[in-house]
A and B are shown apart, each in its own frame.
Chain A
């Protein structure tokens, strides 16, 4: 691939508008496929209810109510699982030939992936809002500052956006949507469960605790809990942001490179 100055000029000039076009396209697709939206909202809501009522009584979280402990964790889990849709959507575009059409248009190269992620992030905002609402209905309460209450869901959305780039790199590397889905969940499941999402990490065996304590998911969830409960959040927040920056530094270029080398 030859990257010319001319190509960079096209990129700079058209990227914002083209990203918006692709965002619009993907949002329309969500509206037209209610099953997709139902799946991406029902599932997280179901998780909130199941964990709160089925496991809630059995999991010891000290002085903190389990629902207050659970909600930040389950928000992070939902945006992580939701991020797999980025890769699935891109893989569908590759197989259907849509990507070929985009690549012969005089549009910004970055717009296909970025527009997709912007749409998935928009969906995450909606899902996080809905889950907060359901959480409030079943007893979740903020205990910290107003700023913390506002920041908490933002951290979740930012975290989801970060993982969309990993998913994009996968979706542009595999040939089929089903493969993209499986290739994401294979590592997402252990990553989500070996963390502080559902349970305090203290009860895990030592070797697993080491993994869980250093997981980006744990740092992010701990920061969100700190913000929501009014406890210390700076240390986990900085570590979480560091992880996110690191993931972006690797996977944004990787996703762009994979997208460019689709043939």
Chain B
């Protein structure tokens, strides 16, 4: 393998990996590299192949074709070398509900064969770091959703892995718990851990990842920084909502004049939205013109394109729900 941008070999190398389940090609030739100490965000809708790739890289699933290495070790032929170097926090928190938080972490530490004293001190350290000390000796079934994810994340970090795999770490969490988890992940990255993070949220990838790989139907369809991807999907969107639906047409005309493309009008919610570059200046212009036209604005704002909009522009189909006829035999 060749040296990466920073002169070191990439710590994760995936070469043309294929994996099918019956007729469904979960991975149809995926290649990517992760540089040591960086965060790769794997972005895609449900069923895109994100989890399948994580399972291949964490030795849970053998690829049909292609190869993948972690720290130079082949994930299929050298599983026993790979496992001590990785940590996995999956979609559902893999913790034992009947054990306490501390017992869960000590068990994992013991299964890494750390020795009793080290296991106990490591568990205590992680409980403190993830703000679980108070609940440490309570059964995990009494934990909230956010606490369970934190415990799961702590368990994946017991052996100080070189590469951490986070499979949709915040799916199903409330906004507060999501923000807390983001903080935790940022702190981790600051200590030099390499992370592969899968997510359905562009915002999450934007917040946490150095590089984003967009995956759909088992293929990589785009790759770059968050800014690259947003630029490719028309950059920011300016959205205006009115309470008087009669004014929608006026708003549409204003946004057509100020925006970079044709605006989209949503009658149901009374919103009109358009892609813009140099958003703040355009926002001021739109406010001025609507004010002159005496249109009452219920809400106005700039926002990042959603995953749905990124997908629409990259693939021509929406992220949520599969368009008819492309689910089976895709790729």
Contacts and interface: CB of A to CB of B under 8 A. Distances in A.
Interface stretch (B56-64, B172-180, B300-308): B56-64
A54 interface: no
Interface string A141-170: 000000000000000000000000000000
A156 B87 CA distance: 42
A6 B108 contact: no
Interface residues of B, number: 36
Nearest to A97: B94
A249 interface: no
A100 B156 CA distance: 11
B254 interface: no
Contacts of A120: none
A101 B77 contact: no
A2 interface: yes
B110 interface: yes
Contacts of B76: 2
Contacts of A25: 96, 99, 103, 107
B288 interface: no
B62 A6 contact: no
Interface in B55-106: 55, 58-62, 76-81, 83-84, 86-88, 90-99, 103
A203 interface: no
Contacts of B129: none
Candidate in B62, B107, B112 with the most chain A CB atoms within 10 angstroms: B107
Given A18-B111, A28-B99, A101-B88, A7 B79 contact: yes
Nearest to A28: B99
A100 B99 contact: no
A104 B103 contact: no
B155 interface: yes
Nearest to A262: B60
A90 B263 CA distance: 54
Given A4-B77, A6-B80, A263-B61, A107 B111 contact: yes
Contact of B98 (A6, A33, A97): A33
Candidate in B59, B77, B79, B83 with the most chain A CB atoms within 10 angstroms: B79
Given A21-B107, A100-B60, A105-B111, A29 B99 contact: yes
B93 A97 contact: yes
B139 interface: yes
A76 B123 CA distance: 42
A106 B60 contact: no
Contact of B94 (A1, A96, A111): A96
A105 B92 CA distance: 17
Contacts of B111: 18, 21, 102, 105-107, 111
B103 A28 contact: yes
B60 A104 contact: yes
Interface in A1-52: 1-2, 4, 6-7, 9-10, 14, 17-18, 21, 24-25, 28-29, 32-33
B83 A263 contact: no
A106 B98 contact: no
Interface residues of A, number: 30
Contact of A100 (B88, B96, B113): B88
B80 A103 contact: no
Contacts of B58: 104
A101 B86 contact: no
Nearest to B97: A96
A21 B62 contact: no
Interface string B138-161: 010000000000000001000000
Given A4-B80, A263-B55, A101 B98 contact: no
A32 B80 contact: no
A98 interface: yes
A100 B83 CA distance: 12
A26 to B, nearest CB: 9
Nearest to B59: A104
Nearest to A3: B79
Interface string A89-117: 00000001110111111110001000000
A106 B88 contact: no
Contact of A28 (B88, B95, B98): B98
B242 to A, nearest CB: 46
B58 to A, nearest CB: 5
Nearest to B88: A104
Interface in B19-53: none
A25 B104 CA distance: 9
A7 B87 CA distance: 19
CB-CB nearest 7 A-B residue pairs: A97-B94, A101-B94, A29-B98, A106-B83, A107-B111, A32-B98, A97-B92
Given A10-B80, A21-B107, A101-B155, 8 more contacts: A2-B79, A17-B110, A28-B98, A29-B96, A101-B88, A103-B60, A105-B83, A106-B80
Interface of B: 55, 58-62, 76-81, 83-84, 86-88, 90-99, 103, 107-108, 110-113, 139, 155
30 contacts: A4-B78, A4-B79, A6-B78, A10-B80, A17-B110, A25-B96, A25-B99, A25-B107, A28-B99, A28-B103, A29-B99, A32-B99, A33-B98, A96-B92, A97-B90, A97-B93, A100-B88, A100-B90, A101-B90, A101-B155, A102-B111, A104-B58, A104-B59, A105-B108, A105-B111, A106-B111, A106-B112, A107-B111, A107-B113, A263-B61
